[in-house]
Structure formats: structure tokens, C-alpha cells
């Protein structure tokens, strides 16, 4: 319950026709410039438009603003005495909301909502929760300016008063009474004011409010329950009225909010603001609650209900497709708000999301929504660029698509796209079989076995992965299941194979000690098969058997798509597992003393910035490298390509700066490890080993001193990790992320892509292809 922040083969004639059509379509787009976004982190974003600016307010008193729903500017980011939303002279959020913090027994806030009432003032409905129980308080603060300062008007609801009478006169019962958090306040079509709220516990409730002062109308108790109960994992309620359909839409998020929680957004609708809300199957959401006979937070009871508009997914970029990286997708996207723009008739979905391979890091995302032929919202697959539905030509929607079926489950699994083809004869082939048709000018109807027809829209959108406009579709069935598709650039089989050939790389294969991850599938489901000239050392599937000495062999890839075929060979040197991989002594140069890897190179203050100037001084073992605070060292790629390794070095920081790295290794910008002499506030500023794959914080409980030498080492053995200072183990843990799954990892000293460079000295960097024992590491420190 805590709100802690911390997915063609075609004849040459068809391909030629489609390539020509694609070019015509691109010309019709005019000479566009690449679309850019500016991202912010606001958990549980609630949207309000003031003048020409959109604002989002979220948990932990974070807020941001934008004039175009694309480029955001952070306003505030945490609950603190200096947060300007409540800063008014000597008064701050702690003094203003003292009663709330005291009741909820917490020092932070959950998801607020801001609305402007008839008096022209802005009313913030704030709330706080203990977190491990529904002991919560919800109140109102008012400001003349939307950016504050807000002045408290008092608590209006409380929950979690165990053994005491609640607002309806009965003893508080968390199975049926609400957790008084996560409010959304809205006007209905007749000008009446309502507040919907709740999280887990007794469910989502709605109350009628006084539009003159924002307070609850008397005699309602907790109000009327709309959905949930028995601690069902349903929260983040938000109501949007659409004049286009004349329905009220109740959005909620099912599941747990963290990266492993399976958070997903669902919607139901009603003709009245206080319900009853029903899903596309006609089920009243008032009947949707957890089974009290099952374990706490039972998801199976609620998963079949509501229209699931988005869950975990990834439009997976396959090897050889346009762009770079793994593709575009979301993890645990949810706790949304929604906005209807009366001037344009557009509907927007505003939510926070985590991302594949990025752990708990989250950002705000905005997508457009469109009402399908049955009056249900379908969410555009890619983020909003203020695009508009226009008539589409049939030839522009034919072809290969990355296809995602969001299903109805509540699961941490990421649904990766699969390849389908919309054929000219109206059939669908590939990973899904069925039929499709273009209805009217831009609507799609898809028929798949086991489902009523999926109804939605075609829309040209900006794809951040390929950096191009692509045709997309999104549609929903009456079972409450949503599907999405993103069209791939038309290519012949020969073009597909050539693209895979050009991109296929195994990275640095001059000193392989761990198993190689050999891709077997490429773009458009092309097949990649492998053969090794010495399978006893390196098998055809990439498994390494440690040789007695270095062995050089040839690994050959055969890429096949239809009748197209290409062969690419790689020279691989396999070294004995467990020995020293590299040794940088810094004795006047950046050479690897083992000779297995090349020398390091001096760079500027970031991995991708040239420049820098490195000096040398007397060190612990001969000379040491001196980093001046504006310089880093780029080491050869692929130093580590296994989940069994040790890194050891001597450090003498000249100053201690939070987040500054010494040894940094990364698979990409989202998956990395870093040793910090001074860590973040979450470990009290102690030295730490940090990983960005799953935000693994290995705080040492002490800080290596500035101005003197300390020996530090980290040893990883298939997820078990130990971190040492001067030969003494200071941290021991499990489930450390497996970052180095390729031989193309990036490595640097003193710098990364983001933070203040290291200032100080470094000596005797040793990297081993095994996790050394405590005794072996202790011997290195002497």
C-alpha cells in the first residue's frame, strides 16, 4: 500500500508498392522535425489546466507544468520545509498540515487533486497515509495562485480509527470502510461538485461536495461505494465526463504500483456521476471486490472486470529494425488522471509509468484517447504529440505490425510485441490470426478467435524508437480487452536480412570468460543460427567451457528470412575462467598490464564528452592516476561479460560528492553498476555500490575518508554480492542485478553519463572473472 517513490514476407511487387506508398505518406507529413519531449517525475499525476498551462500534482508534493502536454517543467519534487506549494513566510507544509501528519503517523503526502471553484481560488485536496495500514487523513488547502502558497482549511475525512466510531456511526472496518486517500474532485454536467476517493481497504467511494466551499455536504458519512472492498488492490480513481458520448468514465488502477506489482489501468462508465458504473460486459463495478475467503490482496477476484486499457507492454525493437535500444513500452503504468479539451474535442490520459529495465524510476506520460464505435476509450499506443485523427488510405495501413494484446491479467510480466501482418485480403496472419477492416475513414475493426470484435482507430504517431512517424491502431473488445499495433517500415526479406547483418555484433570478443548471449531471432522473425569451430570450448548456443589456456575460435551466424540468407563470422578468444581479466596499474599510462585489453583513454566530464587531463602521482603500488574533477577514463568495452566477477582498486578521494562514481560499468543507460565514495540520502551519504537496473542500494554503513587511501572491492557471484573496504566485508546481499549480459558493456572511471566527476586519486585497478573469496580480497588490501 505504500506510495514510496523511492511487442513480410512479401513478394517484390507488393513490397515495391508499399515502399512507394510509404514515401508518399512521408511526403504528405511535410518536412517534419524530430519530436522532442521533456520528462518529469510526478507520481500519481492529477491534471488541471489554468489559463494556457497544464499542471500535474502528485504524491510527495511533487508537481510540474507544461503548455503542450509534451515538454514538462518540474516545479516541486518532495515534501520538505522549502516546498513552495506551502511556503508562506514562517509557515510550511509541516506546520500547515501538522494535524494530518500526526494522525497518519507519516512525514509525507499521497496523491492530491487541485480544482478551481467559483470563487476563483484553487482548492488542493491533500492526503496522507501511514502506509502499512489505512490510517489516513484527507483535507483541503486553498490558494489564490495555482502554484501556491496553499493555506490549510482543515481535515475533512479520516480513516483507520480502530475500535472507534467512523463517519457513518459504525465502528471502523477496513474491509468495508474506505482508506481516505487519493481524492479526485470534479464537476458533473449539471454543475454539481463530487469527490471520488479511496485505495484498497473498503474500496472506491464518492461524496457530493459543496461547490461554494469545497466541503462535503452533511449527512453522507463516507459516501457511496462505487467499486472494490475486502482489500482489493484497486485505487487511483479519477472521473472524466465526455460530451462526445455523454458518459462519465471512472478510471482506476488494479494491482500493485511498484515495478513488480502488475499495475494496470481500467475504466468503467455510467450515465450519472455517482454510478452505477459498469464495464463493457455490463458488470456493475459495485459487485467487484476481493474474495474475503482468499489471501489478502487477492487479484484473481477482480482481474476479469473493468475495461483494461493498458498494462505492462513493450513494442520490442528486434535486431535489424530501425532505431536503437530495446523499444518503447511501460511497466506498472497507472494512477492516471484524464482531461477533455472542449476546444478541440480531444481526450487525454495522464499517468505515471515505470519502464522495462529501469527499475522503480518513473516519469509522467500523456497519451491521447479516442472513443471507439461502442463509446469506450481506446488509448493511442505512443505518447501524445497533439496529433489529430485524419482519414487514412488503405495502402498506408497494410503491412507488418508489432502487436500487443493487453489481456485482462494482473501480472508483472511484460507483454512483448509479436509480429502480425494486415494483409490486402482483410486477413491477419503471423502471431495472431483473424480478420481486419478499415471502417469509415480511420476506424479499425479486428476479429480474433474467442473475442467479440475489437473496435478502435488508426492514427499516425511519432515512434520514439525509430524516430519516425508510423501508423498505429488501438482497439477494445466487449470483453474489456485492449489491443495495440505499431506498423513497421515496409521491407523485403533481403532488406531485413541485410539490416540484421549490419547490426549484428557480439561486442568485444578478445577476452571472453562467460557465456555469450547469442540472438536467435531478428527483425520480422528472421532466424539466426550459430555454429562454432570449437564447440567443446564455446558451444553453438554460446555456452563457455573453461579451457586450460586461451583458445581462439570462429563463431558463425547464418541469418535467414524466406529465401534471403547471409552469413557473418566472428573471431572469439576464450580465456580461462577465474583469472585476472584486466589490470590497470596507472604506472604512467593507462595500459592493461595483462595485455588482454587495450589501454584506457582520457575523456572529459561525461562518458560521451571528449577532453580531460589526467596526471600521475606516487600511489599505493607505484604510480596512481589523479582525477581533477573534470576528467574521466574510458576503459575498453566488454571488460566484464558475466555475472561472476570482482573489481578491486585503491581510492583516495580529494573530496566527497554525492552520486560521484569511481568505477562505472553499464549494459546501457538504464542498466549499470557504480561504486560511490559518497552515496545518496537513502543510505545516509555512506559509501555504496549502486545499480540502476533495479535500483539496488548497497550502502556500506560507513564512508571512505577524503585525503587518504582506502582499498575497495566488490565481488558478484550470480546475484550474491559483497562489498569490501580495506579487506573487511562491509556489505553482503543477494539478488544483485545481472548487468553484464553482453560483451559490449561500457566501462569508465570517474565519470558516467550524468553526475559530478570524481576528484581524487586511483591506483591498481584489478578485474577478475570470478568472485574472489574474503581471504583473497583481504590479501589485495595489504
Question: Is the bond leading into 149 cis (omega within 30 degrees of zero)?
Answer: yes
* Measured distance CA(273)–CA(650) in Å, rounded: 65
Q: How many CB atoms lie within 10 A of CB 169?
A: 7
Average pLDDT over residues 243-266: 96
Average pLDDT over residues 702-708: 96
* Measured distance CA(139)–CA(679) in Å, rounded: 36
* Measured distance CA(542)–CA(533) in Å, rounded: 12
Mean pLDDT of all residues belonging to the chain: 93
Bigger pLDDT: 9 or 673?
673
- Phi, psi of 44, rounded to the nearest 5 degrees: 60, 55
The answer to whether the CB of 708 falls within 8 A of the CB of 652 is: yes
Q: Which residues, at least 6 apart from 369, have a Cβ–Cβ distance to it below 8 Å?
A: 309, 338, 347, 348, 349, 377, 378, 379, 380
All three cell numbers of 489, joined, read 517500415
Give me the half-sphere count of Cα atoms (radius 13 Å) on the Cβ side of residue 393.
Answer: 9
Three-state helix/strand/coil letters over 392-405: CCHHHCCEEEEEEE
* Measured distance CA(585)–CA(762) in Å, rounded: 9
All three cell numbers of 690, joined, read 549502486
Unique residue bearing C-alpha cell 549494459: 667
pLDDT tens-digit map of 316-330? 999 999 999 899 999
pTM for this entry: 0.82
pLDDT confidence of residue 469: 96
pLDDT confidence of residue 580: 86
The answer to whether the CB of 626 falls within 8 A of the CB of 742 is: no
Q: Which helix (H) or strand (E) holds 776?
A: helix 774-780
The answer to whether the CB of 469 falls within 8 A of the CB of 462 is: yes
Unique residue bearing C-alpha cell 502558497: 149
Among 124-133, 289-298, 390-399, where is mean pLDDT lowest?
Answer: 289-298
pLDDT confidence of residue 378: 98
pLDDT tens-digit map of 577-598? 667 889 999 999 999 998 889 9
- Phi, psi of 503, rounded to the nearest 5 degrees: -90, -25
Nearest to 139 by CA among 89, 88, 187, 103: 103
Instruction: Kindly list the catalytic residues.
Output: 44, 235
Nearest to 687 by CA among 697, 677, 673, 674: 677
Amino acid at each position: 500500500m505504500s506510495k514510496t517513490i523511492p511487442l513480410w514476407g512479401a513478394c517484390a511487387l507488393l513490397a515495391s508498392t508499399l515502399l512507394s506508398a510509404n514515401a508518399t505518406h512521408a511526403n504528405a507529413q511535410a518536412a517534419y522535425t524530430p519530436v522532442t519531449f521533456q520528462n518529469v517525475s510526478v507520481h500519481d499525476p492529477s491534471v488541471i489546466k489554468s489559463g494556457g498551462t497544464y499542471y500535474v500534482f502528485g504524491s510527495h508534493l511533487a508537481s510540474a507544468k507544461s503548455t503542450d502536454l509534451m515538454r514538462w517543467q518540474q516545479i516541486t519534487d518532495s515534501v520538505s520545509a522549502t516546498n513552495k506549494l506551502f511556503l508562506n513566510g514562517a509557515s510550511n507544509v509541516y506546520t500547515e498540515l501538522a494535524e494530518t501528519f500526526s494522525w497518519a503517523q507519516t512525514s509525507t503526502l499521497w496523491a492530491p487533486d487541485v480544482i478551481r471553484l467559483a470563487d476563483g481560488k484553487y482548492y488542493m485536496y491533500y492526503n496522507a497515509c501511514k502506509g502499512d495500514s489505512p490510517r489516513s487523513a484527507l483535507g483541503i488547502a486553498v490558494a489564490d495562485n495555482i502554484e501556491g502558497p496553499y493555506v490549510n482549511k482543515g481535515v475533512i475525512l479520516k480513516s483507520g480509527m480502530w475500535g472507534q466510531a467512523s463517519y457513518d456511526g459504525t465502528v471502523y472496518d477496513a474491509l468495508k470502510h474506505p482508506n481516505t486517500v487519493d481524492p479526485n474532485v470534479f464537476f458533473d454536467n449539471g454543475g454539481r461538485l463530487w469527490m471520488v476517493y479511496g485505495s484498497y481497504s473498503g474500496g472506491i467511494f464518492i461524496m457530493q461536495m459543496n461547490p461554494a466551499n469545497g466541503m462535503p455536504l452533511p449527512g453522507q458519512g463516507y459516501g457511496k461505494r462505487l467499486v472494490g472492498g475486502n482489500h482489493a488492490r484497486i485505487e487511483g480513481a479519477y472521473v472524466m465526463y465526455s460530451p462526445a458520448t455523454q458518459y462519465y468514465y471512472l478510471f482506476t488502477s488494479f494491482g500493485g504500483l511498484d515495478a513488480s506489482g502488475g499495475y494496470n489501468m481500467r475504466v468503467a462508465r455510467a450515465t450519472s456521476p455517482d454510478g452505477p458504473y459498469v464495464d463493457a460486459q455490463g458488470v456493475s463495478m459495485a459487485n467487484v471486490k476481493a474474495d474475503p475467503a482468499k489471501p489478502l490482496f487477492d487479484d484473481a477476484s477482480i482481474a476479469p472486470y473493468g475495461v483494461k486499457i493498458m498494462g505492462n507492454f513493450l513494442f520490442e525493437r528486434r535486431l535489424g529494425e530501425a532505431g536503437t535500444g530495446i523499444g518503447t513500452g511501460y511497466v506498472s503504468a497507472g494512477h492516471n488522471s484524464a482531461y477533455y479539451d472542449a476546444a478541440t474535442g480531444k481526450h487525454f490520459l495522464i499517468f505515471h509509468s515505470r519502464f522495462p529495465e529501469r527499475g522503480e524510476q518513473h516519469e509522467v506520460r500523456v497519451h491521447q484517447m479516442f472513443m471507439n464505435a461502442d463509446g469506450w476509450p481506446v488509448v493511442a499506443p505512443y505518447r501524445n504529440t497533439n496529433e489529430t485523427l485524419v482519414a487514412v488510405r488503405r495502402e498506408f495501413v497494410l503491412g507488418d505490425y508489432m502487436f500487443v494484446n493487453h489481456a485482462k491479467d494482473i501480472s508483472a510480466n511484460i507483454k512483448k510485441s509479436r509480429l502480425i501482418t494486415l494483409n490486402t485480403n482483410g486477413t491477419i496472419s503471423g502471431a495472431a490470426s483473424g480478420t481486419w477492416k478499415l471502417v469509415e475513414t480511420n476506424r479499425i475493426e479486428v476479429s480474433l478467435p474467442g473475442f467479440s470484435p475489437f473496435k478502435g482507430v488508426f492514427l499516425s504517431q511519432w515512434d520514439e524508437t525509430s524516430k519516425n512517424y508510423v501508423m498505429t491502431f488501438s482497439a477494445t473488445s466487449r470483453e474489456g480487452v485492449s489491443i495495440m499495433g505499431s506498423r513497421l517500415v515496409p521491407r523485403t526479406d533481403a532488406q531485413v536480412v541485410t539490416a540484421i547483418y549490419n547490426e549484428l555484433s557480439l561486442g568485444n570478443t578478445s577476452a571472453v570468460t562467460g557465456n555469450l548471449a547469442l540472438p536467435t531471432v531478428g527483425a520480422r522473425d528472421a532466424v539466426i543460427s550459430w555454429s562454432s569451430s570449437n564447440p567443446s570450448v564455446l558451444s553453438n548456443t554460446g555456452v563457455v567451457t573453461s579451457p586450460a589456456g586461451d583458445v581462439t575460435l570462429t563463431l558463425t551466424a547464418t541469418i535467414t528470412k524466406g529465401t534471403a540468407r547471409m552469413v557473418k563470422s566472428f573471431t572469439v578468444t576464450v580465456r580461462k575462467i577465474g583469472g585476472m581479466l584486466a589490470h590497470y596499474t596507472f604506472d604512467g599510462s593507462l595500459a592493461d598490464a595483462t595485455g588482454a585489453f587495450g589501454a584506457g583513454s582520457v575523456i572529459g566530464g561525461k562518458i560521451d564528452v571528449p577532453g580531460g587531463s589526467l596526471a600521475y602521482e606516487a600511489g599505493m603500488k607505484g604510480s596512481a592516476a589523479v582525477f581533477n574533477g573534470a576528467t574521466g577514463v574510458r576503459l575498453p568495452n566488454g571488460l566484464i561479460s558475466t555475472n561472476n566477477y570482482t573489481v578491486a582498486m585503491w581510492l583516495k578521494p580529494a573530496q566527497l560528492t554525492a552520486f560521484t562514481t569511481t568505477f562505472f560499468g553499464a549494459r546501457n543507460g538504464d542498466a549499470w553498476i557504480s561504486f560511490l565514495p559518497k552515496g545518496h540520502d537513502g543510505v545516509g551519504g555512506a559509501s555504496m555500490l549502486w545499480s540502476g537496473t533495479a535500483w539496488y542500494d548497497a550502502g556500506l554503513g560507513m564512508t571512505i575518508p577524503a585525503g587518504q587511501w582506502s582499498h575497495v572491492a566488490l565481488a558478484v557471484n550470480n546475484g550474491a554480492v559483497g562489498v569490501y573496504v580495506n579487506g573487511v566485508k562491509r556489505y553482503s546481499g543477494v539478488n544483485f542485478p545481472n548487468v553484464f549480459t553482453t560483451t559490449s558493456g561500457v566501462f569508465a572511471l570517474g565519470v558516467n553519463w550524468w553526475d559530478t566527476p570524481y576528484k581524487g586519486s586511483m591506483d591498481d585497478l584489478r578485474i577478475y572473472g570470478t568472485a574472489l573469496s574474503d581471504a583473497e580480497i583481504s590479501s589485495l588490501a595489504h
